[in-house]
Structure 1
Amino acid sequence: MGNNKKRILYIGNILSKHGFTPTNIETLTPQLSEEFSVIKVSDKKNKILRLLDICKAIIFNKSKLDLILIDTYSTSAFKFAQIAGELCMRFNIPYIAILHGGNLPQKIEKANPKEKAFFTNAAALVAPSNFLYASFEKFGLKNLVYIPNNIDLSQYPFKQRTQLKPNLYWVRSFHQIYNPVMAVDVLKIITEKYPDATLTMTGPDKDGTEALVKARAAELNLQNSLIVTGKLSRSEWHKLAATKDIFINTTNVDNTPISVVEAMALGLPVVSTNVGGLPYLLSNNIDARLVDPEKPALMADAIIGLLNNPDQVQSLTQAALNKVKAFDWSVVKKQWSGLINDKAR
């Protein structure tokens, strides 16, 4: 790497080798490395070791760094971001907080002075969704920037579905906040009209909810209609998606799920709950169908409507493809490059 490159430390959770879903840091680091000199931290599964790893990386590299990027979550991991921010302020290193999670607005609303200082002293707060941008804008923050999470559209083969079948696809971590059990209830309603309907669910089990899904399927006598694949690589689930016809998203809490963006890029019509950032990402009856959460009957009606209206499906999926072009790395790269060059010391 040339010596003239801006030197960046990226702080986040690099835990895919421990079986966790890859996070933003694992995608964005190699992309930013095309232009900048980037080191990343931490891959320690133990939280105490991870925090020590983060602090060590800042302290040992403080004189070499031009900028620090910090993935910022609303959960207990926020403490890591706060401590990293305090070290940045102590050593006069500019930092950018990359906001993740639909609950972050509640976090700042209830934040104590030290926690608020993390947000106000950041060189920039990058909101990867219009939902988070609008939510943080209410607090009068002047350092907000919208840069969406990105995908490489060339890696997503778009398939135009002209003859839809009731083959539903759900891709997410099995966790109660994503309400995977609702997907089974939706399937039950669909099978009353389409007995051959299937539901395929892909993702790691985070809190034991996968067992609840299987139990619900057994209770409703849907064992032969439900396929649970477990965690798949991105290329594996994309290949499987080509055999499916409708993507469903049953979540109760969300920001801008990248799996929904990927489904749009693959040509799958999306039926989703209208919670959190999803109405900021999807436009009802324009590029997706949106329904109220915890209402399986409404989602089933929306799905049946698409099965009966292939012309609308073509319209929705083409509009969805046009929308996700703004998420392509060729577009997002310019936004990151401009921001980093502007904020680095």
Structure 2
Amino acid sequence: MKNLLYIGNKLSSKGKTQTSIETLGKLLEAEGFIVNTASSKSNKLLRLLDMMFSVLKYRKQVDFVLIDTYSTSNFYYAYIVSQLCRLLKLEYIPILRGGNLPSRLEKSPILSKAIFRNANTNVAPSLYMKSNFEDLGYGNIECIPNSIALKNYRFKERTFSKISLLWVRSFSKIYNPLLAVKVIKALKDENIEAELCMVGPDADGSMQKARLLAEELDVDVTFTDKLSKQDWITLSESYNVFINTTNFDNMPVSVIEAMALGLPVISTNVGGVPFLIEHNKTGVLVTPNSEEAFVKSIKELIDSPDKTKEIGRLARKQAALFDWEIVKNQWIKVLQ
């Protein structure tokens, strides 16, 4: 029986989006692993101290420390926790979550080498991240994708009498939510009947900016704030196109979920997304930060209903590869 300590941002109880520390942690527990987690502290300094305290607390019983690793301020959590693990001679495994981590490797080479070269294994959720790390000389990389429980996602073939756009993400500048509002405005300007629903909590004030932009452009946008997984899956029944407007990405679970539901996905062609979506086969990839590109692709979906339905069917098949019943074997292999 392996004993794990999982370090990450466990903040869903504070109104934030549920992250892998809660989803993957529970799945590993169900496979027989003992999983302790840190941290749910809202304050960043207290969260770091809680993470460090947890490493010290469990140091004599833990087999591996899993560390969710991002590219912005949370990168420094990973650095400090990993170096504490080194000091205590604990095996640790960074999970490479941040879509902009390749840039961080170049900006912070010394810190990056201290974290990733001394890890037991680095787990990359996408081939995009794995290839970027390997190009910079990191060899101990295992690609284990983000997963879903496929049985929880009922496939539905969509119809397109009206365009109903669904956007699901935290409202953060890096995910470019304002672009979704601009897309609905551009559709309106072309006299295409359309609606937009944006689901997710506010991370950095971007939700208020999106609301103000919708008001300024005189378009109707539904903002639901944070919804439970089941609630947004139920909501998705009423929508027929999923848009992903991000500027940086790795292996977004919300996109995998949309594919599993049969929603044709239009996404910016960034980061790990082209490793997930095959253009015009399992989804549509467009130029970043271009409402014109989104509108063009949406019009093509309307004009080619048979092709669009085929994209939905193939997307479901692709999403099935990320079912936990398949992915769990890769985790078990690494952790054994």
Aligned match for 1:21, one of 17, 28, 32: 17
What is the match of residue 326 of structure 1?
Answer: 321
Contact 2:176 2:246 in 1 (8 A): yes
The letter of the residue matching 1:281 is L
- Cα distance in 2 for partners of 1:112, 1:298 equals 36
CA offsets 1:219-273 (integer angstroms, 9 cap, x no match): 3221xx3211111111111111000011111111222211111110111101111
SS in 1 for 2:146: coil
User: How do residues 50-61 of structure 1 correspond to structure 2 at under 5 angstroms?
Assistant: 50-61=47-58
- Cα distance in 2 for partners of 1:196, 1:107 equals 42
CA offsets 1:74-129 (integer angstroms, 9 cap, x no match): 11222221121112212221111101111111112222434412100101000001
Report the CA distance between 1:18 and its aligned residue.
Answer: 1.0
Aligned match for 2:113, one of 103, 107, 116: 116
Aligned match for 2:93, one of 76, 96, 118: 96
Contact 2:16 2:203 in 1 (8 A): no
Report the CA distance between 1:156 and its aligned residue.
Answer: 0.6
Matched, 1:301 2:317: no
Contact 2:16 2:226 in 1 (8 A): no
TM-score, normalisation: structure 2: 0.96
Can you give the 5+ residue segments of structure 2 that lack an aligned partner in the other structure? Answer: none
Quick one: structure 1 residues 211 and 84, their matched pair in 2 at CA, closer, same or farther if it must change by over 3 Å?
A: closer
What is the match of residue 147 of structure 2?
Answer: 150
- Cα distance in 1 for partners of 2:298, 2:43 equals 43
The letter of the residue matching 1:118 is I
What's the C-alpha RMSD, in Å, of the aligned pairs?
1.5
- Cα distance in 1 for partners of 2:335, 2:93 equals 9
- Cα distance in 2 for partners of 1:185, 1:50 equals 36
Matched, 1:174 2:166: no
SS in 2 for 1:33: helix
Quick one: structure 1 residues 250 and 115, their matched pair in 2 at CA, closer, same or farther if it must change by over 3 Å?
A: closer
- Cα distance in 2 for partners of 1:64, 1:210 equals 43
- Cα distance in 2 for partners of 1:56, 1:212 equals 38
What is the match of residue 246 of structure 2?
Answer: 251
Aligned length: 335
The letter of the residue matching 2:151 is S
User: How do residues 187-226 of structure 1 correspond to structure 2 at under 5 angstroms?
Assistant: 187-222=184-219, 225-226=220-221
- Cα distance in 2 for partners of 1:316, 1:251 equals 21
Matched, 1:42 2:39: yes
Aligned match for 1:229, one of 219, 224, 230: 224
CA offsets 1:187-221 (integer angstroms, 9 cap, x no match): 12222444531111111122222222222222322
- Cα distance in 2 for partners of 1:195, 1:285 equals 22
SS in 1 for 2:116: helix
SS in 1 for 2:278: coil
Which piece of structure 1 moves more, 140-149 or 251-260?
Answer: 251-260
Percent same amino acid among aligned pairs? 45
Can you give the 5+ residue segments of structure 1 that lack an aligned partner in the other structure? Answer: none
What is the match of residue 235 of structure 2?
Answer: 240
The letter of the residue matching 1:33 is E
The letter of the residue matching 1:259 is S
TM-score, normalisation: structure 1: 0.93
Contact 1:164 1:245 in 2 (8 A): no
- Cα distance in 2 for partners of 1:124, 1:162 equals 45
Contact 1:130 1:281 in 2 (8 A): no
Contact 1:13 1:42 in 2 (8 A): yes
SS in 1 for 2:36: strand
What is the match of residue 277 of structure 2?
Answer: 282
The letter of the residue matching 1:179 is N
The letter of the residue matching 2:29 is S
